Chains A and B, each alone.
Chain A
Amino acid sequence: MSKEFTVLYFASARDATNVQSEKISLPPQSTSISLENLTILLKRRHEKLAPILENSLYAINMEYVENDDQTILVKEGDEVAVIPPVSGG
């Protein structure tokens, strides 16, 4: 059984992917994926998502993370959210 994590898409990101959420398998033989590689993977899956990811943040298990933090790894069972620029209020 492959190890999976979940990705949630909101607002413009959901419009670009046409899905609210999806389960994605970690690369074979790996137990985690870096944010840099996650971005590459998501762009490959969803062409229209590329420009949106440039201006979005990631949240992992409901905590914002810095996109360029190389110490952060997405692991099996994690919930990753693509957070485009917010506009509440």
Chain B
Amino acid sequence: MTNLNKDFVKLTSENLILQDIINLVKDDGAGAITTFNGTTRNIFKDKIVVRLEYESYIPMAEKVLLNLICEARTKWDITKVAIYHRTGIVPVGETSVIVAVSSIHRKESLHAVEWLIDELKEKAPIWKKEVYSDGSVWKENAENRQKC
């Protein structure tokens, strides 16, 4: 899903390659590109994670993420934004999410990336299941949207 070739949002079962995402936000007028690359961990509270499975309400997740980018643009002067998130089985050590932002000066993209990943973790309808050798658990992010 793209918006005027400035905003790129995708939930995908394919491998995420950082350089490909960087290329999406590259802009001759931008002096900075900031990226966040989230990877899956192998241990949770002494339990060894065999694999992770991500599930998403994809059309809503893409809508939520595009709205977040819109909101970020009201806060910072940023040029292009890409948010890619994996779905399905993600082996330990692989990238599960990439946020990339370009801006004329570095501060804007540094702030925007931090804010976007925090908001994604709180609001995007995406779920992670950790599969252990002896069972599995649907995770909950600490920054979860509180039920009112």
Which A residues lie at the B interface, using CB under 8 A? 8, 10-12, 14-15, 55-57, 59, 62, 64, 66-68, 81, 83-89
Contacts of B141 in A (CB 8 A): 85-89
Which B residues lie at the A interface, using CB under 8 A? 38, 54-57, 59-61, 63, 85, 96-97, 117, 120-129, 138-141, 144-145, 147-148
Contacts of A11 in B (CB 8 A): 55, 127, 129, 138
Residue of B nearest to A89 (CB): B121
Residue of B nearest to A8 (CB): B57
16 contacting pairs across A/B (C-beta < 8 A):
A10-B125, A10-B127, A11-B127, A12-B127, A14-B55, A15-B138, A59-B57, A62-B63, A68-B148, A81-B60, A85-B140, A85-B141, A86-B144, A88-B56, A88-B61, A89-B141
Q: Is the interface of B mostly helix, strand, loop or mixed?
A: mixed
Residue of A nearest to B52 (CB): A87
| CB-CB under 8 A for A85 and B144, given A8-B57, A11-B55, A62-B63 | yes
Contacts of B147 in A (CB 8 A): 55-57, 67
| CB-CB under 8 A for A66 and B59, given A84-B138, A88-B85 | no
User: Do B59 and A62 touch across chains, with their CB atoms under 8 A apart?
Assistant: yes
| CB-CB under 8 A for A89 and B97, given A57-B145, A83-B125 | yes
Give bound CA distance, A10 to B122, whole Å: 16
Contacts of A68 in B (CB 8 A): 148
Question: 18 other contacts beyond A87-B138, A89-B128, with CB at 8 A cut-off?
Answer: A10-B55, A10-B127, A11-B138, A15-B138, A55-B147, A59-B60, A84-B138, A86-B127, A86-B141, A86-B145, A87-B121, A87-B126, A87-B141, A88-B97, A88-B120, A89-B38, A89-B121, A89-B126
